[in-house]
Chain A
């Protein structure tokens, strides 16, 4: 039997390739200094969904909540084999913490017919690993977190092996289910040539509008809208229009969204400046830099 999968993905700053000024003076991440990438473990979640599809069939829908620029990772998902991509974007999502984010995502996921929801274990920018579990609670489905291997999938149940730090647990759960997937689960496939050739021109409505604005700086708002609508319907005919949803469309209650819906209070931000006490020599090559960055991330000096 076939299984419909929903994969939740996030565009994040590439904390492994820090160049220039990575941290603002206020201690927050300077996103403009870092390249934006597909959150690595979300790629593992997508790969697991693709393996399920390869074996059993079914449809894969990818959703990201984010800025219009996140269209890039939606296209990447289509390149790798996702069937449908949805950009959930709304200014009212801004400043959402994990609780608000999981609420908004739950509203979106509920609009889709699914058997399995897959998330990366955690995103490399926030490192909370909270959104997946919170989302499962809001959807009212069982969850298996830290999944490393899918052992069995049949009609009504799923069995998976999860990492519990000092060992593994084999867990069986009823469908529908939510999984959070770790980097050890698989090695994600690269983009498929024919899908890239086809979907490289896929765009979200907001990307279409932004491009038209850029090309017609003088044009009136109404004309831009008209041009954008025309272009979107053209793309839609070719199957190249990426869906775009907002909070209103998914029926989200605004009191649970954005800053209103985010009880997280930042206690203190520490802008760490290290005084030199001891030195360490780092090889002047990619490997050396990469090892150093890993160490800094592990020591929570940067996040």
Chain B
């Protein structure tokens, strides 16, 4: 990366060097660590005290510090869910706008101890399950910055337990939508609001526990940040915030400038919107001009009837996630989006407003992230990352335990990451939008009347390549509840497989099935289905995609292919047909036959 080094030096050499001179580099480095620790500790507090496994185990939550006037991200935790990292700034901005409106109308004044709560996805991005708490931090009577916490609540009403209603055509079918409201005034919680929340969920105790956990995290953040401000003073911390933002911007400009100029296009498809069985196009024209980048999604499909739409703020947030994965050294704050321009017309499914349903937003943003990877792969093929498995498979089993109590077992499932210049893709990973770990089988079986009969890697699910994709998984669940269970799935990649790069092949498709009286069945819409009644003793099975392959499969060393066959990652047939490697009965490489197979392919 000589070009990058040279350019970096030239930028740093100019008088307009973005490093904030007023703060010495030592203090800056110290403050960076202290501030990140505060936010990391907020994350940890919520994970440990949350009630629902989606936060406690899967870490579907995030905390940060945000700019007083703009809401821009100042500091973000290292473990927070990546997609929230991008989206939270929009959420804080929504609260800032609300406060300004109220003040203008003379209705209310922002005070220390106020806490705002909301889940409106059209204002803050993502979907209704993500409950946001936003709290001002005052210093000497003035607003200094905002603290925010977001976490995925298990159930907020709507037609489908756990949200993820694959058949929603309006947000009203997805759950209760809450605009920014004051949950607390001057430190006193409004129990009326808590009561409204409780009345609108199938699992009020879980939500109450998660709310307490988020308040714990905000308490802790406020205490720690105040202590830091006492130590260093407001002016120093403000200067540090400015310097972090400038630094992120400088690093992102470096990274963009190192790419060749030009327009690079890539497109991929969603299976359908859950209502109409037509593919939805996600198309990106990525243009690099010097140290600026434009991401133009104009050629994408129009808004759809089902829940696969997203709001503009969500689209921007997921592009940020994609870029951060490609350029992991650029710090996570608002500065890194400064050199990026977005074209996201309201006439596409990526820029919708209320009440268009957005509950399946996860699938759409995964496809958006994929096309950013795909377009960058065309710009810099040697640094390409193949498509990750690209679906969260939101699977919900709901019903009643034998004692009559209601249960909702809801989880996201894993798959393979894409092959890349460094390695094969990771087997059974989480999606790029998250750092979520999966709940243990034993925790799920202790909590819900189910029994897993398989929790395994899925052979031949990875895209072939010089570096193959990571493997997807097979999960098979038997229902133990006497009255059976109703099953809901919102997934993707049932029709369009994760792509390969540089000659690498696509991975396997996603597949969902369940046991019936006369065999098994799969959803007509591939990976989306609601209200499937499963009787006691019957199974449902989810088979997830691996990641796409990197580079030509015929360039994979035969010894590695033989190992893949020995370990059962790749079948003999695939070894021969896709990799051009022939094996003997004993699994040894048949060198002559392999040479012939590979020759044939080149000819």
Partners in one complex: no
A residues sitting closer than 8 Å to B (CB atoms) are none
B residues sitting closer than 8 Å to A (CB atoms) are none
